[in-house]
Each structure stands twice: as C-alpha cells, then as structure tokens.
Amino acid sequence: MNTVPETHYSATAKWLHWLTLLLMLGGYTLGFIMADLPVSPTRLKMFVSHKWIGVTVFLLSLIRVLWRLAVPPPQPVAMPAWQRLASEYTHRAIYLMLFLLPLSGWLMSSAHGFQTVYLGVLPIPDLLHKDKALAETLEEVHESFALLMLALLAVHVAAALKHHLIDHDGSLRRMLPRRGA
Ligand code: HEM
C-alpha cells in the first residue's frame, strides 16, 4: 500500500482539467462570435458545434467528479485558512457551473424547438416543449451562467498565477505534467 502522500493530481485528473479548459475556450469563442452573426449556414454550424462542446463538457465533468471521488486530490499546499476556504468554494462553484451551464443551454435549445443531435449521430431528448417565452428567459439564464462562470474562472486563474509567481508554492506544478515521469 502506498503511504506516501500524493503531491500531484493524477494524470487522469490533469487530462480532464486541461481538456476542459480547451473545450471552454472553444465554447466561449463560438458563443461570443455566433451571438452577433446574422442567420446563415455558418451561424447554424457554430450553434451545432457549440452544443456538441456543451454536451462534451457535461459528460467529461461527470467523469471528472466520479474520478475525484475515487482518486482524491492531493492535500492543499500550505496557505492561510481563508485562502484554502476560498479556493475550496471556488472549485465547488466551478464544478457546479460545469453542469448548470450546459444544462441551461440544453433546456434553452429544447424550448426553442432545436433538438441536439450529439456529434450528428446521437439525438438527445428534448427536456421541454417548444415555448418561445420560456426559451427567451432560458437564454438570459444561460448567458448569466456563462458570465458567472467567466468571473469564477478569472478568480481561479488569478489565484493560480498568484500562487505560482508570488508565493512560489508549487501549486501550479501539481496540475502540470511531471517532468521525467
Ligand atoms: C489558464 C487556465 C487555468 C489554470 C492556470 C488553472 C490552474 C489550476 C491549478 C494550479 C489547480 C490546482 C489547484 C491546487 O493546487 O489544488 C486547478 C484546479 C482546478 N481547476 Fe483549474 N486552471 C485553469 C483553468 C481551469 C478551467 C477552465 C476550469 C474549469 C472550467 C478549471 C477548473 C478547476 C477545478 C474544478 C479545480 C479543482 C480540482 C480539484 O481539486 O478537484 N480550471 N486549476
């Protein structure tokens, strides 16, 4: 049995973390661009890709939470108690938004009457009947969730950079590939 405390996240946790970052970058880029485009086949393709990304983020986050329960993360690096608490609650809020953001998009899309066909092959059941007024409300909810997630990620990245560049406490390295491993 391994009794040495883990200092790094597992390789799987790292893959899931950085893959999610890439997907979020793609999802946000498409989301911001397509919002202002006039109706066109290009805009439609962007919507479709945006929705596929959302479903992928949802599924990966499910795997990620299950993985985290099975393989706990390393103990936090030394820091004042308030920072540890802030980091724990920011992480929890990010996890929650990783589900609520795609879910609100799925509900909105259902209320608009646009079914999602994942990767063009797997139809995902609509959760709501077509309802224009509800779709407009859900659109606002989805946008607000997207902005809230951005704010959380801004805090998260700022904290990661502060720990790396100012505190030099090695916390960023815990999430990066191990050299020589
Ligand atoms: C440049 C972008 C990012 C950087 C530099 C970064 C950095 C980090 C670092 C260093 C940790 C480990 C903290 C520790 O020592 O415990 C971490 C954890 C985490 N990151 Fe990020 N991150 C970034 C983007 C993201 C994104 C886009 C998401 C989600 C959408 C995210 C979600 C999380 C979560 C939920 C944890 C907690 C993992 C756990 O303990 O279960 N991060 N991040």
What SS3 class is residue 140? helix
Domain boundaries, the chain: 11-175
Residue 107: is its pLDDT beyond 50? yes
Distance from the alpha carbon of residue 66 to the mean position of ligand 1, in angstroms? 17
Residue 2: is its pLDDT beyond 60? no
Q: Tens digits of per-residue pLDDT, 43-75? A: 999 999 999 999 999 999 999 999 999 999 999
C-beta pairs of 120-129 under 8 Å, 24+ apart in sequence:
120/48, 124/55
Asked if CATH classification 1.20.950.20 holds for the domain at 11-175, the reply, yes or no, is yes
Q: Tens digits of per-residue pLDDT, 74-87? A: 999 999 999 999 99
- Ligand 1: residue of 96, 156, 174 to mutate (most ligand atoms within 8 A of CB) is 156
Residue 93: is its pLDDT beyond 70? yes
* Amino acid, single-letter form, for residue 124: I
Tell me how crowded residue 109 is: count the other CB atoms within 10 A of its CB: 24
The whole-chain average pLDDT of the chain stands at 95
Looking at residues 93-116, what average pLDDT do you find?
97
How many CA atoms lie within 13 Å of 40's alpha carbon, on the beta-carbon side?
9
Q: Is 68 in the pocket of ligand 1 (CB under 6 A)?
A: yes
State residue 1's pLDDT score.
46
